[in-house]
Amino acid sequence: MAALRYAGLDDTDSEDELPLGWEQRTTKDGWVYYANHTEEKTQWEHPKTGKRKRIAGDLPYGWEQETDENGQVYFVDHINKRTTYLDPRLAFTVDDNPTKPTNRQRYDGSTTAMEILQGRDFTGRVVVVTGANSGIGFETAKSFALHGAHVILACRNMSRANEAVSRILGEWHKAKVEAMTLDLALLRSVQHFAQAFKAKNVSLHVLVCNAAAFALPWSLTKDGLETTFQVNHLGHFYLVQLLQDVLCRSAPARVVVVSSESHRFTDINDSAGKLDFSRLSPSKNDYWAMLAYNRSKLCNILFSNELHRRLSPRGVTSNAVHPGNMLYSSLHRNWWVYTLLFTLARPFTKSMKPSLEDTINMPTFTEKATLDCG
């Protein structure tokens, strides 16, 4: 090697030649990342060129992509009966030339969840999404599932939840996705869900508190609380408390609370500045659907902030998310006035494929031999 270095031939003519100790890998959706075996870390950029790359084209005929028990992607050549951790398409990568700005505001109203998660491998991660049979919840669950996560759709209507599971499996038959019963309007159902989830003896890396009710006529739940308040806030509050120990054991973990800008247009304090509990679960005479929704969303914000303060030292972060102004969904279905309003506003609203904030870091370093293993 010393002689080669002396002659100036210690490197090849290819700028893509990896330095000693580096390995090129791919994620499920074809993005290339680089593992440094010396420092046991990964990164998206090529260590020499600084470029990001992705795989071009489909797998060659006879090849299939699989994932081992450690979450590592490998490839099976059914024709030659061999297995390798090297993607056969690595010789045909193309440079990733992002068109979006690289400053802090990387995403905009047209960015989809799939774009946010592009290049990320969630294999081995467990995600629970409430209200995931339609709307924002469905797109969120689908995006996580198509990137390798084990996703649980926590829904009240199991028929619609199972249909949602089938739709996701229709896009990728190997997606790890299932439905579980969760009725936030019934605290006993929340308790049963938490017990059933814990019985699975799995981790919980991301909990998305998405389910919500909007424009409901006044009613009380079986627990004696106003329905909008219980479904939008209290049910999720109770769910997080019941799963808090699992989240902490799974750290780093995250709770995402889907709130709304409408939290700004209300108050839950009385004239003396103290919390007025009667405003949280008002009587029928004091009830206004929009105001009840706004107050529940304010509770979401306050809860998320306090949860982050308490649990972030234990590796569990919490974020409250505003999905977009007048985002068109089925949330308005309970009253024709709101349906008309949302219909008129639809041309000016965001897509139903929501933008998710970055929730999980790069693929973690797991040492794997790159030689053929079959």
Asked if residues 174 and 165 have their Cβ atoms less than 8 Å apart, the reply is no
The CA distances from residue 228 to 181, 220, 280, 290, 297, in Å, are: 19, 9, 9, 10, 10
Q: Decide if 115 is inside a domain.
A: no
Q: What is the pLDDT of residue 95?
A: 74
- Whether 366 has a pLDDT exceeding 80, the answer reads no
* Rounded-to-integer distance, Cα 26 and Cα 160, Å: 35
Q: Return the SS3 of 337.
A: helix
pTM reported for the whole predicted model: 0.64
What band does 13 get if pLDDT is binned at 50, 70 and 90? very low
> Across residues 116-132, what is the average pLDDT?
90
Q: Decide if 132 is inside a domain.
A: no
- Among the listed residues 74, 293, 328, 338, the single catalytic one is 293
What band does 116 get if pLDDT is binned at 50, 70 and 90? confident
What percent of the chain shows pLDDT beyond 70? 75
Strand intervals (E) in the chain: 22-26, 32-36, 41-43, 53-55, 63-67, 73-77, 82-84, 93-95, 126-130, 150-155, 176-181, 206-209, 253-258, 316-321
Q: What is the pLDDT of residue 231?
A: 97
Q: What is the pLDDT of residue 242?
A: 98
Asked if residues 195 and 180 have their Cβ atoms less than 8 Å apart, the reply is no
CATH of the domain at 208: 3.40.50.720
Asked if residues 289 and 335 have their Cβ atoms less than 8 Å apart, the reply is yes
Residue at a domain's end among 36, 65, 95: 95
Asked if residues 292 and 268 have their Cβ atoms less than 8 Å apart, the reply is no
Q: What's the one-letter identity of residue 278? A: S
Strand intervals (E) in 297-367: 316-321
Q: What is the pLDDT of residue 358?
A: 36
190 in the same domain as 90: no
CATH of the domain at 90: 2.20.70.10
Asked if residues 74 and 370 have their Cβ atoms less than 8 Å apart, the reply is no
Which of 232 and 110 is assigned the larger pLDDT?
232
Q: Looking at residue 312, what DSSP letter applies?
A: G
338 in the same domain as 236: yes
328 in the same domain as 196: yes
324 in the same domain as 198: yes
191 in the same domain as 63: no
* Rounded-to-integer distance, Cα 202 and Cα 246, Å: 8
197 in the same domain as 89: no
- Whether 137 has a pLDDT exceeding 80, the answer reads yes
Q: Decide if 343 is inside a domain.
A: yes
194 in the same domain as 336: yes
Q: What is the pLDDT of residue 122?
A: 93
pLDDT for 341-353, tens place per residue? Answer: 555 555 545 555 4
Q: Decide if 129 is inside a domain.
A: no
Assign residue 132 a region (left: φ > 0; alpha: ψ between -120 and 50; beta: otherwise). Answer: alpha
Please give the distance of CA 305 from its chain centroid, rounded to a whole number. 19
- Whether 314 has a pLDDT exceeding 90, the answer reads yes
Residue 218's nearest CA partner among 265, 131, 286, 275 is: 286
Residue at a domain's end among 95, 121, 147: 95
pLDDT for 58-107, tens place per residue? Answer: 788 788 888 887 777 788 888 888 888 888 887 777 776 554 444 445 66
pLDDT for 158-168, tens place per residue? Answer: 999 999 999 99
| Burial status of residue 51 (CB atoms within 10 A of its CB: 0-12, 13-18, 19 or more) | middle
* Rounded-to-integer distance, Cα 125 and Cα 127, Å: 7
What percent of the chain shows pLDDT beyond 90? 42
Residue-number span of the structural domain to which 87 is assigned: 22-95
Q: What is the pLDDT of residue 96?
A: 67
Q: What is the pLDDT of residue 356?
A: 43
Q: What is the pLDDT of residue 15?
A: 59
What's the structural domain count of the chain?
Answer: 2
187 in the same domain as 91: no
* Rounded-to-integer distance, Cα 317 and Cα 245, Å: 14
Q: What is the pLDDT of residue 228?
A: 95
What band does 355 get if pLDDT is binned at 50, 70 and 90? very low
Residue 93's nearest CA partner among 43, 117, 57, 121 is: 57
Q: What is the pLDDT of residue 306?
A: 97
229 in the same domain as 82: no
pLDDT for 272-296, tens place per residue? Answer: 767 777 778 889 998 988 889 999 9
335 in the same domain as 187: yes
Token pair in block for residue 84: 């390798």
Q: Decide if 251 is inside a domain.
A: yes
Token pair in block for residue 242: 């019941």
> Across residues 307-335, what is the average pLDDT?
77
85 part of the active site: no
Q: Return the SS3 of 143.
A: helix
* Rounded-to-integer distance, Cα 177 and Cα 153, Å: 8
Q: State the chain's mean pLDDT as an integer.
A: 80
**Partners of 93 in the β-ladder:** 55
Most confidently modeled range among 47-56, 112-121, 148-157: 148-157
Q: Decide if 109 is inside a domain.
A: no
Helical spans, DSSP H, in 284-335: 289-311
Q: Return the SS3 of 206.
A: strand
205 in the same domain as 80: no
187 in the same domain as 87: no
> Across residues 13-31, what is the average pLDDT?
77
> Across residues 322-342, what is the average pLDDT?
55
- Whether 215 has a pLDDT exceeding 70, the answer reads yes
Residue at a domain's end among 65, 95, 125: 95
What band does 235 get if pLDDT is binned at 50, 70 and 90? very high
* Rounded-to-integer distance, Cα 34 and Cα 56, Å: 17
CA angle 218, 220, 223 (to 5 degrees): 160
Q: Decide if 37 is inside a domain.
A: yes
Q: Lowest mean pLDDT of 66-70, 359-363, 370-374, name the range.
A: 370-374
Q: Decide if 86 is inside a domain.
A: yes
